[in-house]
Amino acid sequence: MARILIVEDEAAIRQMVGLALARAGHEGREAASAEAGMAMLEDSVPDLVLLDWMLPGMSGVDFARRLKRHPAYKDVPLIMLTARGEEEDRVRGLDVGADDFVTKPFSPRELMARIKAVLRRAAPAAADEPVEVAGLTLDPVAHRVWTGERTLDMGPTEFRLLHFFMTHQDRVFSRAQLLDNVWGTNVYVEERTVDVHIRRLRKAIGEHDRLIQTVRGAGYRFSTRA
């Protein structure tokens, strides 16, 4: 299941797309304007954004530009819904970071195929496959983390946090976003608790602690880049 944000001002299209997403097993969230879409992004980072080219107020192109400039959202896949099929418009969309286009009118079947293809390209490693980053390896099935021949000891929360980081590299996540993705939306935990577990995780992974980077005023990022 993917969490998909639909930013579209036409209610009929939002309803059609939302129904198609539900039938495909996805969770759709709807916004009637770019401003409402930005507010929803602040609450929860989606797995994909469906964005109408022509929106009231802030245009879809401007929304896409803001999305791709934001460190927390820049890697979120983006499909633009557009009645404009000209090559020049597609080039503009690609320039601001669109991953694909669906030209109106479109069928739910076509849209689901495009979504599936984009998600497949953007998907991190499968949930049950080992993940390796810079000599640090995590096996979610065996619930084991090691470097070289040495197994690293850590608690279950640190393990989940590390797994999330390793499968979402180079993206900045706020404390609230980490709480939603690692602890779950139905669990009440203070945001400062994230800092405690980050410290424990850094200690557990030893010389690999440089991979967990603090982004001042924004949150944390897991990256091999300095």
State pLDDT tens for residues 9-66: 999 999 999 999 999 888 899 999 999 999 998 877 888 999 998 888 888 889 999 8
Same domain, 103 and 35: yes
CA atoms of 139 and 159, how far apart (whole Å): 10
Same domain, 189 and 118: no
Helix/strand/coil (H/E/C) assignment for every residue in 86-121: CHHHHHHHHHCCCCEEEECCCCHHHHHHHHHHHHHH
Same domain, 117 and 146: no
Same domain, 143 and 216: yes
**pLDDT number for residue 122:** 66
> Which residue among 97, 122, 147 closes a domain?
122
pLDDT at 185 over 70: no
* CATH number of the domain residue 180 falls in: 1.10.10.10
pLDDT digits over 85-97, tens only? 666 666 676 777 8
- Of residues 152 and 191, more confidence is placed in 152
Same domain, 8 and 94: yes
Same domain, 101 and 188: no
Same domain, 135 and 42: no
* CATH number of the domain residue 28 falls in: 3.40.50.2300
> Which residue among 122, 156, 172 closes a domain?
122
Instruction: Report the percent of the chain where pLDDT is more than 70.
Output: 91
Please count the other Cβ atoms lying within 10 Å of the Cβ belonging to residue 70: 15
CA atoms of 59 and 184, how far apart (whole Å): 33
Same domain, 186 and 116: no
Among 2-16, 68-82, 84-98, 142-156, the minimum mean pLDDT is found in 84-98
Phi first, then psi: what are they for 219, rounded to 5°?
150, -130
Same domain, 97 and 19: yes
> Which residue among 122, 148, 180 closes a domain?
122
- What is the total count of domains within the chain? 2
User: Rounded to two decimals, what is the model's pTM?
Assistant: 0.57
Same domain, 40 and 10: yes
Of 111-125, 171-185, 199-213, which has the strongest mean pLDDT?
A: 199-213
DSSP string, 32-54: SSHHHHHHHHHH---SEEEEESS
Same domain, 112 and 142: no
Domain around 73: 3-122
Same domain, 65 and 144: no
CA atoms of 90 and 136, how far apart (whole Å): 40
